[in-house]
Structure 1
Amino acid sequence: MPTIEETHIVNRERVQPGDANNYDSAHGGIVMKWMDEFGAMSAMRAARQSCVTAQMSRVDFERPIPIGDNARIESYAYATGRTSVRVHIEVSRENPHTGETEPTTSAYATFVAIEDGKPTEVPDLTAESEACEELRERALEDEP
């Protein structure tokens, strides 16, 4: 059985001028693309299969990420259904010189495992450590 820890991904994207809107900060659609990509990676680790996005809910944009800063994207699966994986995704702006972070965006997404173009069952997800159980509880508390 996969664990929450195995699905936990933290990565960064540098905000370049081509990623920006008219206000010199990351375009919301670009941020959502990054969230979808990293969320899918977490889902695939949980499902042990390819996954597609079924829905993304409660996408909250709290503050911008300026050009030159990093978008720090954190995602992890916290629950599974018969063929689905629920993932929590958080984005922070990160100063590339100091590593200082500030939350900017968060969302919940559901992915469906696919095999031969059809939904396929996924294994149960376990929390084998206190830290993983805390991640799961945090996601469940705020889940839409």
Structure 2
Amino acid sequence: MPSLMDTYIENREMVQPNHANNLDTVHGGNVMKWMDEVGAMSAIRFAGKSCVTARVDEMDFRRPVLVGDTAVIESYVYEAGETSVDVYLRAFRENPRTGERELTTESYFVYVGIDESGEPSPVPALTVESEEGERRQAEALDGLDA
């Protein structure tokens, strides 16, 4: 059975002018797209099969990501149902010169495992086998309660 830490993925996007609005900050839709792609990677790694986005809980945009910053997207599975995969996602702005990070966006996405005909299909049970995994699961669940 896949463990929580097996599903942890971190990806980076260099924010270019074509990603930005007239304020030289990344469009929220680009951040959401990047989060959806990385979240799907975590869900697919966990389920061992194709997964589709079923729901996006509220997106909290806390601060902008500027042109020239690196957008860092962090994702992992924190719970699973019969066919659903719950993924916690956070985006950070990162200074590419110093590595300094600030949380910019967070959300919870739900993906559904599908079979070859595109129908919902069972996913495995999630295991949490390390202190780091337990910490991350608690962090995701605490955010749901807030």
Match for residue 9 of structure 2? 9
Match for residue 136 of structure 1? 137
Structure that is richer in strand per residue: 1
| Matched ranges for 1:53-68 at <5 A | 53-68=53-68
Q: Residue 32 of structure 2: SS of its match in structure 1?
A: helix
Pair 1:112-2:112 in alignment = yes
The Cα of 1:46 is off from its aligned counterpart by 1.1
| Whole-angstrom CA distance in 1 between matches of 2:23 and 2:108 | 26
Match for residue 69 of structure 1? 69
Instruction: Tell me the C-alpha RMSD between the 2 structures.
Output: 0.8
One-letter amino acid of the counterpart of residue 57, structure 2: S
- TM-score, length of structure 1 as denominator length: 0.98
Q: Any idea what the Cα deviations from partners look like across 1:6-60, whole Å, max 9, x if unmatched?
A: 1000110000011001110110000000000000000111111110000010210
Task: Give the length in aligned residue pairs.
Answer: 144
| Whole-angstrom CA distance in 2 between matches of 1:103 and 1:141 | 16
Match for residue 23 of structure 2? 23
| Whole-angstrom CA distance in 2 between matches of 1:98 and 1:26 | 20
Match for residue 100 of structure 1? 100
Q: Any idea what the Cα deviations from partners look like across 1:46-105, whole Å, max 9, x if unmatched?
A: 111110000010210000000000001000000000000000000000000010000100
One-letter amino acid of the counterpart of residue 117, structure 1: G
The Cα of 1:122 is off from its aligned counterpart by 0.2
Q: Residue 58 of structure 2: SS of its match in structure 1?
A: strand
Match for residue 123 of structure 1? 124
Match for residue 46 of structure 1? 46
- TM-score, length of structure 2 as denominator length: 0.97
The Cα of 1:142 is off from its aligned counterpart by 1.2
| Whole-angstrom CA distance in 2 between matches of 1:140 and 1:104 | 19
Structure 2 gaps of 5+ residues are: none
One-letter amino acid of the counterpart of residue 32, structure 2: M
Structure 1 gaps of 5+ residues are: none
